Amino acid sequence: MSEADAPTVPADTDAVRDALIEWYEDDHRDFPWRRTDDPYEILVSEVMSQQTQLSRVETAWAEFLKRWPTAADLAAADRADVVGFWTDHSLGYNNRARYLHEAAEQVGSEYDGEFPSDPEELQELMGVGPYTANAVASFAFNNGDAVVDTNVKRVLYRAFDIPDDDAAFERAASELMPEGESRVWNNAVMELGGVACEKTPKCDETGCPWREWCHAYETGDFTAPDVPTQPSFEGSRRQFRGRVISTLKEYNELGLDDLGPRIRVDYAPDGEYGREWLQGLLSDLADDGLVEVEKRNGDTVARLRS
């Protein structure tokens, strides 16, 4: 099917828009970052939310902002402290903490302390890709494009029979979003995918506002594009990377056989989780600019990068 022939949104677009916004404004999850238009606070929430459960993010976000309430405060912080916070709150990949710290420094040094408001310019900040840039532009400045994430794709696929094609999803999402209303619209359509049109839909239970137009609701076919599940944090490589950072913060520097047992109880120098495995973790962390590794008297010694 060509893009020109692909199914599109209903003709009565205004009614579709009004129904969703009314549903969202009547009742939605009250995340604290939805109550602010501060670009720094929103950026922190977006970076924390990447592949991390929102239940962990909510507490960490509040504590992070209490410690570093502005971009200037974060820029002035010791990077090891920021990475340590990330690890202590199980927020996943520690390089995101490093990038966030560097982005805060950029805001001060390159933008006179004021965040850019355009999605393209926001992508100039370290670690800020197209999705995050558009989210910050949308929620802080009401100046974004239509968000197209996994949940939005699932909604569009089911509701309007949009084919599983990125260009088709982008086109449909753009047609639907009311001009100049990216803040409320993107929040609303993501809420729809997050609480009503999940993998197992809750159409009637949540009073889905699009049942009137929904192809899946009409046909009973609720298939959707494959959605990867969030890998378990417990026992993951991410978890052990975090333990390395925490341990090196406490001990300054350690050799492999001193570090290994402190991050994994079943560490055995020549075992499956031994020196080779640990060297792989340290190599990744060194590539991310978080640790330094050197050979000394035949031993490998690791320390946090200052």
State CA 19 to chain mean position distance.
28
Distance, in Å, from the CA atom of 90 to the CA atom of 84, rounded to the nearest integer, reads: 10
Query: Strands of 291-296's sheet, edge to edge?
Result: 253-255, 299-304, 291-296
Q: What is the 3-state secondary structure (H, E, C) of 181-244?
A: CHHHHHHHHHHHHHHHCCCCCCCCCCCCCCCCCCHHHHHCCCCCCCCCCCCCCCCCHHHHHHHH
Phi, psi (degrees; rounded to nearest 5) at 291: -130, 160
> Is 46 an active-site residue?
yes
| ∠ CA 274-237-225, rounded to 5° | 145
Q: How many CB atoms lie within 10 A of CB 14?
A: 10
User: Which helix H or strand E contains 299, and what residues bound it?
Assistant: strand 299-304
CA proximity to 75, closest of 94, 96, 44, 103: 103
What torsion do the CA atoms of 236, 237, 238, 243 make, to the nearest 10 degrees?
100
Q: What CA–CA distances, in Å, run from 242 to 67, 192, 226, 270?
A: 20, 34, 30, 22
Q: What is the DSSP letter of 126?
A: T
Distance, in Å, from the CA atom of 153 to the CA atom of 223, rounded to the nearest integer, reads: 12
**Annotated catalytic residue within 41, 46, 105, 191:** 46
**Which positions are annotated as active-site residues?**
46
